[in-house]
Structure 1
């Protein structure tokens, strides 16, 4: 079994090369202090005066001047072209949580590839911070204390079934599928509970609920990746 490039007992901020602001990085670092860049995301990290613990990717977007400003021992090139830089980074980080910024907005094909990686690595706890939403792959069971009236969109990337409590339109007895019924623009009546039978469902909530989602994933100063892994989907068979 290959050892991960980054092993951290703290949550990890993973920075991509897409749309993001300095506020995105600072907000992410306030809750996920270990900093990692995916390929060209290193530029934004350097511009904000930070040094990443690691830069992971195929390096086709890492500019020579940015590479020159980084120590060689933080550079981890993975040259294969069968996966995205987000995928390469996510599968090589072992941490209680990965908080990704710079992966939403911009090109739609890039975002779709990121969502694909979230589902394929359902055993990796990861939240994506966008301009308006927090997006994550639904674990087997989720308790989320969002404000009543908050939008809770459910979008399947596979055929999935499950049960819900606290949603205006429950999902009990429904089959959600990317080419069938989806669950966008649902609303919370109060705290919600989701119980899913299989992986493949993305959850989207307003960005203001970021800390609520982090708490729902059980992150605290005493949490560890091993403790959290028991609450997630098992890793896919190779």
Structure 2
């Protein structure tokens, strides 16, 4: 019985690659993977209109500053003024930086974030000092799938907040292919002054539907039966000496 089982597995794995993967690997889906951007491997002052770190791409930055060409920038912020969840030494800012270890916060209107893959969970840390301006603007993380909004979450920047404010925005429970970070409100063109750190996106594992798996199994069994069935010898394999 052990020998028969080994033989079956050999033909199943060798004869049909798709169904062989299901049987030999013991599953039909790869595990979800996480992309993480901390911005800590870049030198202060690095700037670009499209920025990629840890497999996550940031683009379409709008600071709502008339006449400006907007770009992301790396801001060094390891002078001790920031605490956890900040991961030293850098944060992501916009349109310039203040040289040295001191922290500065950038004018932000909106930006796009993506890994280029389907994802199901996202989070990012927002660091700010609301006392820079007097407003109660909000910042929203929106999730899109094929251009359709499928989820959102917001945080508020109240006028009476003082000191350094740490907030986390997150999305879960939906499948998306793109994120948009959007500031809105009644003052200063709706912008907020922030730094961004620890952006994490968990890409969705690809799991075939049960009906698809059943179909693959049926095809695999058919191929297996065909391969194990004795086949007639071809003319080229017949022993000529046996012909009378």
TM over 0.5: no
In the superposition, the TM-score normalised over structure 2's length comes to 0.25
**Higher RCO (CA 8 Å, separation ≥ 6 residues):** 2
When Rg is computed on C-alpha atoms for both structures, the one with the higher figure is: 2
Between Structure 1 and Structure 2, which shows a larger proportion of strand residues? 2
